Homo-oligomer: A and B are copies of this chain.
Amino acid sequence: MDIRLIVIGDELLSGRIADKNGQQLGKILHQKGLNLRNIEVVGDCEADLLEAFKGFENKITLVCGGLGPTKDDITKNVVAKFFNLHISISNEATEVVKKNYQRRDLSWIPEANLYHHIPTTITPLNNPTGLAPGLAHLQNDYAFICLPGVPIEFEAMMVQEVFPLLEEKYSLVTKKLGRINIRTFGVPEEAIFHKDTEIWKNLANFGKVASLPNALGVDIEVSNIDLDIYPQFEKEIKNVVDESPLKDHVWQYGDLSLEGMIINLAQKKNIMIGLAESCTGGLVSHRLTNIPGCSSNFLGAIISYTNEIKSDILKVKEKTINDHGAVSSETAKEMAKGAAIRLGADLTISLTGIAGPDGGTAKKPVGTLGIGYWYKGESGSEMIQLRGNRKNLKYLFSQKALFTLFFLLRDN
């Protein structure tokens, strides 16, 4: 049975927030060897919901959003109308809601939300991280399941409540298919496939090929590989890459995050990391500290948004800033050294650049980045130029810093 997702909420169509549940569901299904067929986002409007619900036959329909306690939460009522069901007090739902509230040490006032009023013949679902119960309408030839829109609740319910139900009731093919993700750095998509017109065709012998450009790199994915022949194919795919110009640009065969690989390498090599950030304002440090357990090898950072902090804390010479500017490879180099000494780090990266929109000059336009490193006494720095708005540039700068950190750790 095809699996589809319907996401409900005016706030997703007016740009207030972005949907996160589509990606989350995609990940969960993908890990189980299942495909999400499509995602539809519709507003809090009965007619649009009724239209979107159509075509539910022979499908698993997952609906998220609109189960809360306020008047714009209409999902429950529209589902009842669509399937011609009555809404009434359910003992089963009452028990589920009581449990949800007890888990949070909260007392439930039934008339504040009417969570125990649900359509007849529908099964209420536990919400391990929230309060509103889910609704499951499971028939032999279709499933129609409503979940809260809050991402943390949606995810927990999918994994803990919904998936076990679906696996029990329907014969979902959960044979895992392998995939190999060839991750490259520093070469544009067009150059990869123009330099070697054969590589796509050669990779397509092993599975479905996809090319996904992202910040400072391109990921080439070969998917739908039968796990029985995976080990052999993995080797052969690596051979194909090794014989192509792509070889020099691959930094990973896999799906580990750059941040995670950095922390892993630092742990293995017993290297303590520190940072000196200016234009990225803490983003590099934030990304590294997203990795659980990073505290074993990440010491901290100095975020120096002023020249004074660069001088006082990072010990950048005033003359360096005066002669070369705060955004210069000379300043970057001294920042990296200063941070290493100050933080007691083996390895530091420094960033000083212009994220814009203001602050650019003809010589150093918005997008200019000075990046430096200090690694056990060795140091270096360079100037690079990237393109984008403030948010993009902060992200690209941070990506450049993480790649620099990764290559230093990998190659030294």
What are the residues of chain B within 8 A of A209 when measuring CB–CB? Answer: 71-72
Complex Cα gap A281–B389 (Å)? 24
Contact B292 A281 (CB under 8 A): no
Contact A22 B38 (CB under 8 A): no
CB under 8 Å from chain B, chain A span 1-39: 10-20, 22-30, 35-39
What are the residues of chain B within 8 A of A301 when measuring CB–CB? Answer: 282, 301-303
What are the residues of chain B within 8 A of A204 when measuring CB–CB? Answer: 71
Among candidates B10, B44, B113, B300, residue contacting A304 with C-beta atoms closer than 8 Å: B300
Contact B44 A41 (CB under 8 A): no
Residue of B nearest to A211 (CB): B70
Complex Cα gap A243–B42 (Å)? 34
Complex Cα gap A391–B155 (Å)? 14
Complex Cα gap A167–B162 (Å)? 45
Residue of B nearest to A104 (CB): B387
Residue of B nearest to A219 (CB): B16
Contact A12 B17 (CB under 8 A): no
What are the residues of chain B within 8 A of A193 when measuring CB–CB? Answer: 69-70, 112
CB under 8 Å from chain B, chain A span 128-144: 129, 131
Contact B13 A38 (CB under 8 A): yes
Contact A189 B13 (CB under 8 A): no
Complex Cα gap A358–B296 (Å)? 12
Contact A18 B22 (CB under 8 A): yes
> What does the 1/0 interface line of A204-225 toward B look like (CB < 8 Å)?
1000011111100001000100
Contact A70 B189 (CB under 8 A): yes
Residue of B nearest to A304 (CB): B300
Contact A190 B113 (CB under 8 A): yes
Closest approach, in angstroms, between the C-beta of A175 and any C-beta of chain B?
A: 16
Is A392 positioned at the interface, with any CB of B under 8 Å from its CB? yes
Contact B210 A44 (CB under 8 A): yes
Binds B, one of A230-238, A283-291, A376-384, A399-407: A283-291
Complex Cα gap A158–B343 (Å)? 46
Contact A35 B19 (CB under 8 A): no
Closest approach, in angstroms, between the C-beta of A345 and any C-beta of chain B?
A: 10
Contact B12 A309 (CB under 8 A): no
Contact A25 B20 (CB under 8 A): no
Is A293 positioned at the interface, with any CB of B under 8 Å from its CB? yes
> What does the 1/0 interface line of A90-103 toward B look like (CB < 8 Å)?
00000000000000
22 contacts between A and B (CB under 8 A): A11-B210, A11-B212, A13-B36, A15-B23, A15-B26, A15-B28, A17-B212, A37-B48, A38-B42, A69-B190, A112-B193, A113-B194, A285-B303, A290-B394, A292-B357, A292-B358, A295-B305, A299-B305, A300-B303, A300-B305, A302-B302, A302-B303
